Amino acid sequence: MEAIVQEIQDLKKQRQAIILAHYYQWPEVQDVADIVGDSLELAKAAARTEAEVIVLCGVHFMAESAALLAPEKTVLLPESSAGCPMADMVGEEQLVQWKEAHPQAKVVAYVNTSAVVKALSDVCCTSANAVQVVASLPKEEKVLFLPDRNLGAYVAAQTGRELELWPGWCNTHAKVRMGDLQAAKKAYPQALVLAHPECRPEVLAAADQITSTAGMIRFAENSTAEEFLIVTEEGVLHRLQQACPEKKFYLATSKLFCPNMKKTSLRSVRAALKNMKPAVAVTPAVRQLALQSLQRMLELS
Ligand code: 13P
Ligand code: SF4
């Protein structure tokens, strides 16, 4: 075992820590984690862990969600500047104004949002349960969906609901254009196309399956197909290949790289455990409201 991996394991024991990593992390970071998952699975793992310390290898909103769900634990985000540009596309003031313009509406917030935005929302969702969450709201209720317009449009089509969409997007998934997908399909004509709902609508329309990262893994495991074209951040290929070593996975384009997700390294994980920082916490007033939105989501999924 590499020395740094051993050091991380030793520190983890000493600190009574658990390491949670998102599927978009570097393979070596995924391999050192106790649990690798999508944002829903990581939130659930944070809520149930008995560890004293949670090291969240992902981006800021994921660490905040862990802090909301496990307030008595120390939550460490190894790279404090690892944010989600899409989550930053909606701020408190803008959301207050949007709500004022639609006073009767319910607000559904993708978990890719700050705790303050979650606190101003009625219920959260992830890409794995967004359809289920919106479908659970009474039909006569108007719904404001934020911040991802692509996920929102997909959910609207799936539920037959008219949603008001916030004009946000993911810088990584939106980079994939039809030309990229057409070229990849030409190179791998046998492959089934699995796309994340954050992709552009025209890319989603050309996909065989639209699903979250965890959904892609389940789909590939249960499918009789042998080859898959993956249209989400490249990190997920590591887990896909581990789960289905006999199948072939191709990334639709090398543009599918999230620079924020890739900030975390083994060195930063070791430093976080050694120094017990950077820690992420949420003020009690924000927590009380944001937690309600997150818990409503967890009750539904
Ligand atoms: P998942 O909800 O599939 O984990 O995706 C999170 C994310 O950041 C997508 O870009
Ligand atoms: Fe945010 Fe997109 Fe990166 Fe996910 S892939 S963390 S949505 S920028």
Atom of ligand 2 nearest to the CA of 260: 3
Residues with CB under 6 Å of ligand 2 are 59, 84-86, 112, 170-173, 233, 258, 260-261
**pLDDT score at 1:** 67
* 93 Cβ contact partners less than 8 Å away, ≥ 6 residues apart: none
**pLDDT score at 236:** 98
How many angstroms separate the alpha carbon of residue 258 from the centre of ligand 2? 6
Atom of ligand 1 nearest to the CA of 196: 3
pLDDT digits (tens, 9 = 90+) for 253-291: 999 999 999 999 999 999 999 999 999 999 999 999 999
pLDDT digits (tens, 9 = 90+) for 42-100: 999 999 999 999 999 999 999 999 999 999 999 999 999 999 999 999 999 999 999 99
Closest residue by Cα to atom 6, ligand 2, is 84
Closest residue by Cα to atom 2, ligand 2, is 170
In a mutational test of the pocket of ligand 2, which residue from 64, 256, 260 has the highest number of ligand atoms less than 8 Å from its CB? 260
* 236 Cβ contact partners less than 8 Å away, ≥ 6 residues apart: 23, 24, 213, 216, 217, 230
Instruction: Show the DSSP H helices in the chain as ranges.
Output: 3-15, 27-32, 39-48, 60-69, 92-101, 115-119, 130-135, 149-159, 178-187, 201-205, 213-222, 236-243, 266-275, 284-300
- Token readout for 194 is 């699995």
Q: What is the pTM of this model?
A: 0.96
pLDDT digits (tens, 9 = 90+) for 17-35: 999 999 999 999 999 999 9
Range 153-176 average pLDDT: 98
Of 101, 92, 164, 157, the C-alpha closest to 121 is 92
Q: What percent of the chain has pLDDT over 70?
A: 100
Q: What percent of the chain has pLDDT over 90?
A: 98
